[in-house]
Structure 1
Amino acid sequence: MISSRFTVAIHILALIEMSEGSITSAYIAGSVNTNPVVIRRIMSLLSKAGLIESRPGVTGMKLVRPLESITFLDVYRAVEVPENDVLFAIHQNSNPQCVVGRNVQNALEEPLLEAQRQMELSLANTTVAQVVRQMESKQ
């Protein structure tokens, strides 16, 4: 399961885009309904990925790139760090004496990699700007 960091990160980017003036981690935490420490950790990941720039004090944070160019895949890669960039972990040390245990890893590898490719393709085709526009249209 992808953690909630992904959706919280999109929430953060949307708030930065839709806010008028400076925005703080405490304000974002209030909107997300979580601790500011959680927000700062996710903001740090977004900053390392080159999606936001955070400055202490009055200036707050800003987007580094236009929201139209930030895809869900960019956000996913920024905040979800799958081991070896593989979404699905296949269990190790199956029993080689068992026909399933001996073959399950090889049988699962390609379908799971294809599922990951399809998910990433879908994420790459959705921008955070689309989500913001949808929220703005509901106001």
Structure 2
Amino acid sequence: MDTKFSSAIHTLILISEAREPMNSDRIASSVGTNASYIRKLTSLMKKRGIIDSRKGVAGFSLSRSADSITLLDIYLAVTDADGVRIFDIHRNPNDVCIVGANIEPVLSEAFRSMEEEVERALSSRTLQDCIDDMAMRVDWPRSADERLKALRQDDGVDISYCHRKGAGK
């Protein structure tokens, strides 16, 4: 299974919570991948209006608030799709076989129904929900203002919250 979606959410949390704009090298270090892969993801997210970047200025910023970016927005951006597509159907069933002749409509209906459920679930959760979940797991302050205040008081690196007590639990 592809990891673009989880890597994109990771990237967006970093972009949202960092003190200064994060460049692709620093994001890649946290995600555990290379900067080229992050640039591909950020390009797709920029194309869909999720993040902004400016020529001559390193780093990215959210183009709108984290509570207005749904997980569906992120999924559609990084898959470059118009809808959730999880399941594929094999293309060459034997039409002479009763199962082969009927498998496509049976599976298409079932798969589309499941994909619509996933779309509804993704559209009901936001990037802010993920940030709030992260905050609870790593003992961040609850509100964005409190998190920013705590980050500004921290003399560590810009993504120092990645190394706070409880990270990775």
Q: Is this a same-fold pair by TM over 0.5?
A: yes
Q: 1:103 to 1:89 in 2, by over 3 A?
A: same
Q: Aligned letter for 1:131?
A: C
Partner of 1:91: 90
Partner of 2:111: 112
Unaligned runs of 5+ in 2: 140-169
Give the TM-score taking structure 1 as reference length. 0.91
Contact residue 84 and residue 116 of structure 2 kept, 8 A:
no
1:1-139 to structure 2, matched below 5 A, reads 1=1, 3-81=2-80, 86-137=85-136, 138-139=138-139
Q: Aligned letter for 2:129?
A: Q
1:82 Cα offset (Å): 5.3
Structure with more relative contact order (C-alpha pairs < 8 Å, separation 6 or more) = 1
1:92 Cα offset (Å): 1.6
3-state SS of the aligned residue for 2:121? helix
Contact residue 84 and residue 115 of structure 2 kept, 8 A:
no
3-state SS of the aligned residue for 1:60? strand
3-state SS of the aligned residue for 1:61? strand
Residues of 1 paired with 2:81 and 2:62: CA distance?
Answer: 25
Moved more, 56-65 or 101-110: 56-65
Moved more, 101-110 or 58-67: 58-67
Q: CA RMSD in A?
A: 1.8
Contact residue 44 and residue 80 of structure 2 kept, 8 A:
no
1:84 Cα offset (Å): 8.1
1:53 Cα offset (Å): 0.6
- Count of aligned pairs between the two proteins: 138
Percent identity, aligned pairs only, is 38
